[in-house]
Amino acid sequence: MRRGRRIALDVGDARIGVASCDPDGILATPVETVPGRDVPAALRRLAAIVGEYEPIEVVVGLPRSLNGGEGPAAAKVREFARNVAKLIAPVPVRLVDERLSTVTATHGLRASGVRAKKGRSVVDQAAAVVILQTALETERASGRAPGESVEGVI
């Protein structure tokens, strides 16, 4: 397992959930929810977070269908991830499968007593935590960086 902090992003049309982990890659925790409708402003905020946390990589959740296929949402996330990669280079960006991360996060929040209306602002952060925790466990089990590398060039 590589040592170093990581950042995870759960990218949606309206909001982007952000999570980070400790330098040992043991525990993922929520950071913030970045408004996503103004893409240039969102990219600037994400670059600032990366500058503050100094991660060894940024992990972006790639929405796939249950059968593993990719639709329009995945294409948007791929484009967004390329833009993030260009902005934060040389910090690498990786795409990881995020199937059911939002569902898992929503169930976890409900189980802890957070209701839907109040939880909207944190569900994206919780989904980013799920994405990052899964990526960390994948790397721990395989010994390799999770997912696929994103190149910052279009």
CA nearest 147: which of 128, 139, 104? 139
Task: Round to whole Å and give the CA distance between 10 and 60.
Answer: 6
Q: How confident is the model at residue 103 (pLDDT cuts 50, 70, 90)?
A: low
Please say if the pLDDT value at position 3 is more than 70.
yes
What per-residue confidence (pLDDT) applies to 57?
A: 97
Please say if the pLDDT value at position 93 is more than 90.
yes
CA nearest 127: which of 73, 62, 41? 62
What per-residue confidence (pLDDT) applies to 111?
A: 65
Report the relative pairing of strands 28-35 and 15-21 from DSSP bridges: antiparallel
What per-residue confidence (pLDDT) applies to 104?
A: 61
Task: Round to whole Å and give the CA distance between 57 and 23.
Answer: 11
What per-residue confidence (pLDDT) applies to 71?
A: 83
Stretch 39-43: mean pLDDT, rounded? 96
- Beta bridge partners of residue 96, listed in sequence order: 61
Please say if the pLDDT value at position 21 is more than 90.
yes
pTM: 0.87
Please say if the pLDDT value at position 121 is more than 70.
no
What per-residue confidence (pLDDT) applies to 154?
A: 45
Task: Round to whole Å and give the CA distance between 104 and 113.
Answer: 14
Two tokens at 58?
């940024």
Q: Does domain 6-147 have CATH number 3.30.420.140?
A: yes
Please say if the pLDDT value at position 129 is more than 50.
yes
- Beta bridge partners of residue 61, listed in sequence order: 96
